[in-house]
């Protein structure tokens, strides 16, 4: 199973992470700390170019291992506006989608569009029958994206709400 390295999604382009974007992703994380820090452990005031570089390298290794498929989200004019990925951690037949959006681009439907297109791609991969999104119950933005993309809440455990999707996105 290997999804495409680039996905055109109308006004968005999803591209497999590359180390050359490390400075821009570090800036995006710093710019978005108030929204990201409560929910994403990596989003700290110390997150910089070195951490972004490590993420890009880890993403490449995980892609090669077939355990994670992480994408940078760009506008069609080349602005890096977020991140989205597929992870195999739910087990056979399922993939988990994780995402975050750079603050100035949040709330405009772009992440919902990215989740929908990545869902279509994921469900076309061999052996993938369902998709999962997990988010903190207080992360209302992530909950809204999941719901608008067609994911339905199936349970809560600890600090996670689990939403699932089966079928065309």
Name all domains of the chain by residue range, CATH numbers in brackets. Answer: 6-165 (3.40.630.30)
pTM flag (> 0.85)? yes
Can you read off the two tokens belonging to residue 79? Answer: 């602005």
Cα–Cα distance, 126 to 168 (Å, whole number): 15
Cα–Cα distance, 70 to 82 (Å, whole number): 11
Q: Rounded to whole angstroms, what are the CA distances from 139 to 21, 37, 48, 118, 156?
A: 27, 11, 24, 21, 13
* pLDDT, averaged in runs of 10, over the chain (169 residues): 90 96 96 96 96 96 96 96 96 95 95 96 95 94 95 87 71
Cα–Cα distance, 123 to 109 (Å, whole number): 21
Phi, psi of 164 (to 5 degrees): -130, 155
Q: What SS3 state is found at 59?
A: helix
């Amino acid at each position: 199973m290997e999804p495409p390295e680039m996905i055109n999604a109308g006004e968005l382009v999803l591209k497999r992470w590359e180390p050359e974007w490390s400075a821009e992703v570090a800036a995006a994380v710093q710019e978005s700390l108030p929204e990201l820090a409560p929910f994403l452990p990596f989003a700290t005031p110390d997150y910089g170019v070195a951490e972004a570089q490590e993420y890009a390298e880890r993403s490449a290794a995980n892609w090669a291992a077939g355990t994670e498929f992480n994408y940078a989200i760009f506008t069609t004019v080349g602005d890096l506006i977020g991140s989205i990925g597929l992870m195999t951690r739910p087990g056979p037949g399922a993939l988990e989608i994780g995402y975050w959006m750079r603050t100035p681009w949040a709330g405009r439907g772009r992440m919902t569009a990215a989740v929908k297109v990545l869902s279509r791609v994921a469900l076309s991969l061999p052996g993938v029958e369902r998709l999962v999104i997990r988010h903190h119950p207080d992360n209302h933005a992530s909950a809204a994206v999941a719901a608008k993309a067609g994911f339905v809440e199936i349970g809560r455990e600890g600090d996670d709400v689990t939403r699932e999707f089966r079928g065309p996105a």
